[in-house]
Amino acid sequence: MNPEHIAIMWFRKDLRLTDNPALVEAAAKGRVLPVFVLDDDSPGKNQYGSASRWWLHHSLEELNKQLNGQLHIYKGDAKHIIPNLAGSFANCSVHWNRSYEPWRIQRDKTIKALLAEKNIDSNSFNGSLLWEPWETLKRDGTPYKVFTPFYRNACSSAIQPRTPVKKPKLKLEDSPHNSLDISALNLLPKIPWDAQFKTHWQPGEAGARKRTKVFIKSGIKDYKEGRNFPDKKNVSYLSPHLHWGELSPHQIWHDIQALAAGENEDCFKSELGWREFSHALLYYFPTITHNNLQSKFDAFPWKNNARLLKAWQEGKTGYPIVDAGMRELWQTGYMHNRVRMITGSFLVKNLLIHWHYGAKWFWDCLLDADLANNSASWQWIAGCGADAAPYFRIFNPVTQGQKFDSDGAYTRRFVPELANLPDKLLFSPWLAPDSTLQAAGVELGVNYPNPIVDIKTSRVEALDAFQSIRR
């Protein structure tokens, strides 16, 4: 009599039970052994950042509850742990959903080969993208480098995203190897800088569905226009849930598809398309994590001033909309997308600091830190990536604040020391008369910094630097 088949379900960035293709297949094979491995050995410099680790801790706790406390936790090199675990069973298979970071692709190939040597079947699935990167190529078989034709041609001509699959019935198996408690992964910070995260977020599949319902009920309306204003509730706040796979893109795509078609729904779907575009870029150009996609930028004369970088990181640049964004990031693990563009432009163009430093800071501070999105977006704002914003497109932090936070509600929330300034001076406090500053309780250089660079002069320097590499 053959021993009962054990199907190892290797959870990665798919921390959900619903619409999980690998889990469905594992459940169909036999008794399921749910496993998570914290692999800090394989990613090299791409280990999870501090904010990501906070989210992961709480998401694993939620997944473990869903699995009645039977999620088996390990820490170490997955190339050793997964094959060794699978080899403990006489009749076993291993299942996972694919990831597209270069280090994961290489590691997973190695694991598949090691399992094959043991005559153990391994099966991987698409649980993270609407379309696989190889499904969105040009007719000549090359990848797109511009988003609009990618989305209009490749995505629209591809097969429609599959219908989400239901949560399977599971017969769970115990592990023959001692597993860890989630707390033993030491994902939470020793210093409680994350104290405010819990007031903003609910990691886990239930939190993802709750956030989706709120967005569909009240956020999608006026999304196309409202998403540009950081104080409006028109953004979905789904990016951390999508990154960790607590919600699949297929689920939210079909939720939006079920609504009456309109410009807001189409606009949101195109934002999902940008996520697909970023992952396709990373898949076909894996060095975009550290190399300029446009090589002419290799000669760009960056200044990389440590003092200015620190002021930017701490939200003490003297430009209120920039400081508001950087403080939102630190306090909530998130930053509104419009403000991400403003703060990114300020770093690379007004401060002439390499986009690497911005990407590294966001990687550590963002709860939705995603290697594909982070790399592609920073290259976009720096002007050196695919479909990049023209280098001469330099966001003016004063006019951006005036246009997208005209009543100052967002800026005053995160830069409260300027709360009593009148709207017309909120984004340029250095222009305020002494009497106005005094009445507002603002003392420039004491309780709020003077601008660390002149916006006009720094713009000219940036354009001169760009001309130097063109020559």
Range of the domain at 311: 295-470
**Catalytic residue status for 304:** no
Specify whether 258 is located in the same domain as 382.
no
Specify whether 23 is located in the same domain as 143.
no
List all residues 6 or more positions away from 164 whose beta carbon is below 8 Å from its beta carbon: 18, 19, 248, 250, 251, 254
* Residue 197 CA to its chain's centroid (Å): 16
* Residue 411 CA to its chain's centroid (Å): 23
**Catalytic residue status for 337:** yes
Distance (Å, whole) CA 275 – CA 129: 8
Which CATH number characterizes residue 99's domain?
A: 3.40.50.620
Q: CA 244, 248, 252: angle at the middle one, nearest 5?
A: 125
Catalytic residue among 378, 380, 396, 461: 378
Distance (Å, whole) CA 136 – CA 280: 8
Specify whether 454 is located in the same domain as 338.
yes
**Catalytic residue status for 271:** yes
**Catalytic residue status for 291:** no
Instruction: Match 């990167």 to its residue by tokens.
Output: 133
252 domain-assigned: yes
Report which of 265, 463, 236, 220 is spatially closest to residue 337, judged by C-alpha positions.
Answer: 236
pLDDT over threshold 70, residue 389: no
Report which of 169, 177, 180 is spatially closest to residue 26, judged by C-alpha positions.
Answer: 169
244 domain-assigned: yes
Specify whether 111 is located in the same domain as 147.
no
Pick the range with the lowest mean pLDDT from 134-138, 258-262, 424-428.
258-262
pLDDT over threshold 80, residue 159: yes
Pick the range with the lowest mean pLDDT from 184-193, 379-388, 414-423, 457-466.
379-388
Distance (Å, whole) CA 85 – CA 344: 44
Which CATH number characterizes residue 424's domain?
A: 1.10.579.10
Distance (Å, whole) CA 25 – CA 70: 19
Distance (Å, whole) CA 380 – CA 383: 5
Which of 256, 284, 312 marks a domain boundary?
A: 284
Which of 239, 259, 284 marks a domain boundary?
A: 284
37 domain-assigned: yes
Backbone angles phi, psi at 34, to 5 degrees: -80, 130
Catalytic residue among 46, 302, 420, 430: 302
Specify whether 51 is located in the same domain as 134.
no
Specify whether 373 is located in the same domain as 399.
yes
* Residue 400 CA to its chain's centroid (Å): 23
Specify whether 234 is located in the same domain as 146.
yes
pLDDT over threshold 70, residue 1: no
Specify whether 268 is located in the same domain as 350.
no
- Number of domain units in the chain: 3
352 domain-assigned: yes
Catalytic residue among 126, 271, 291, 430: 271
pTM of this structure: 0.96
Distance (Å, whole) CA 395 – CA 43: 34
Distance (Å, whole) CA 310 – CA 351: 11
pLDDT of residue 2: 57
391 domain-assigned: yes
Which of 126, 148, 171 marks a domain boundary?
A: 126
Query: CB pairs under 8 A, 24+ apart, for 169-173?
Result: 169/27, 170/23, 170/27, 170/32, 170/67, 171/27, 171/30, 171/31, 171/32, 172/31, 172/32, 172/33, 172/34, 172/67, 172/68, 172/70, 173/6, 173/31, 173/32, 173/33
Catalytic residue among 126, 228, 305, 337: 337
- Which pLDDT tens digit goes with each residue over 326-374? 999 999 999 999 999 999 999 999 999 999 999 999 999 999 999 999 9
* 111 and 83 Cβ atoms separated by less than 8 Å: yes
pLDDT of residue 270: 94
pLDDT over threshold 60, residue 390: yes
Specify whether 450 is located in the same domain as 311.
yes
Distance (Å, whole) CA 311 – CA 319: 11
- Which pLDDT tens digit goes with each residue over 263-286? 999 999 999 999 999 999 999 999
Specify whether 259 is located in the same domain as 402.
no
Specify whether 303 is located in the same domain as 274.
no
Instruction: Match 């599971």 to its residue by tokens.
Output: 170
DSSP secondary-structure letter at 37? E
Count H helices, E strands: the chain? 22, 5
pLDDT of residue 261: 85
Adjacency order of strands within the sheet including 31-38:
72-75, 31-38, 6-11, 92-97, 121-125
Which CATH number characterizes residue 133's domain?
A: 1.25.40.80
Give 156 or 43, the one with higher predicted confidence. 43
343 domain-assigned: yes
Distance (Å, whole) CA 329 – CA 335: 5
182 domain-assigned: no
Catalytic residue among 96, 253, 330, 355: 355
187 domain-assigned: no
Specify whether 152 is located in the same domain as 107.
no
